[in-house]
Amino acid sequence: MPQKEKLLEFLSGFISENKKNLFQNNIEHRTKYMTVVLEDIFQSHNASAVMRSCDCFGVQDIHVIENENEYLINPDVAMGSTKWITLNKYNKEKNNTVDCIRELKKKGYRIVGTTPHSKSCALEDFDITKGKFALLFGSEEPGLSKIAMEECDEFINIPMFGFTESFNISVSAAICLHHLRWKINTSEAPYKLSDSEKTETLLEWTKQVIKKSELLEKEFYKRNDNIVDSE
């Protein structure tokens, strides 16, 4: 048994059966087939609301680009979702937008810009079967940066019928995630996590609910310092 699985088994002994069952149920609906990218969000309630929506719709990864603005979480809005989502921040390069997008492209993601200002397909017409994709949302006022637009592979928009130009970013994200999650669930897309991804995610969730889990982890490795991973 691989070492991470053994560690998960060990730490699982310190949580309730109810929590373990909840984790097992939720992990079956988690996906990395669809992910979310936020570019320079500056209002913490929007950042938090998007994270909460990602958790509710089973999107495991969120990627945050910090060029000008730091990504801040409002705990009253996030409602604990930070415990269950894998947050990836990009803030070490001169242009973190390019760094993030190219990293995702290396992993095989289609970069899909969400904007009403470019030739794009309507949300309901977006083809989720062409491969995994990253939804890119821009900052509250300017929207996606010029360089982000240039790096996108495709664009989608949410059809609107009123006078207001666009939705609030957190509303846009929730609408897109709801509709695309439904399309994924009703398709044959390989959206579920791999066994190793499930183990890694369950391990992180388990650590979140155990007090001083790092001490238990150290104890595990102390007891098993001669373990060699095996299939």
Q: What is the pLDDT of residue 93?
A: 86
Distance CA 34, CA 156 (A): 14
Where do we find the tokens 């409002």? 74
Is the Cα torsion angle 180, 183, 185, 188 positive or negative in sign?
negative
Other C-beta atoms within 10 Å of 5: how many? Answer: 15
Q: Report, as an integer, the average pLDDT of 65-78.
A: 89
Q: What is the β-pairing status of strands 110-114 and 121-122?
A: unpaired
Q: Which of the pair, 228 or 215, is modelled with greater confidence?
A: 215
**Paired tokens of 208:** 């979140």
- Mean pLDDT check: name the lowest of 15-24, 25-34, 161-170: 161-170
- 154 and 112 in contact (C-beta within 8 Å)? yes
Q: pLDDT, tens digit, for every residue of 75-108?
A: 889 888 999 999 999 999 888 999 999 999 999 9
Q: What is the pLDDT of residue 231?
A: 46
**Paired tokens of 93:** 């390069």
31-160+167-185 placed in CATH 3.30.70.141: no
DSSP 3-state of 6: helix
46's CB contacts (< 8 A; 6+ apart) are 140, 168, 169, 170
Q: What is the pLDDT of residue 104?
A: 98
Model's pTM, two decimal places?
A: 0.92
Residue 125 carries which DSSP code? G
Q: Report, as an integer, the average pLDDT of 99-121.
A: 90
Q: What is the pLDDT of residue 230?
A: 47
**Paired tokens of 192:** 């579920």
* Domain layout of the chain by residue ranges: 31-160+167-185
How sure is the predictor about 171, in pLDDT bands with cuts at 50, 70 and 90? very high
- 96 and 65 in contact (C-beta within 8 Å)? yes
pLDDT at 141 over 80: no
Distances (CA, A) of 110 to 34, 54, 62, 155: 10, 18, 15, 10
Reference 35, options 99, 75, 88, 84; nearest CA is: 88
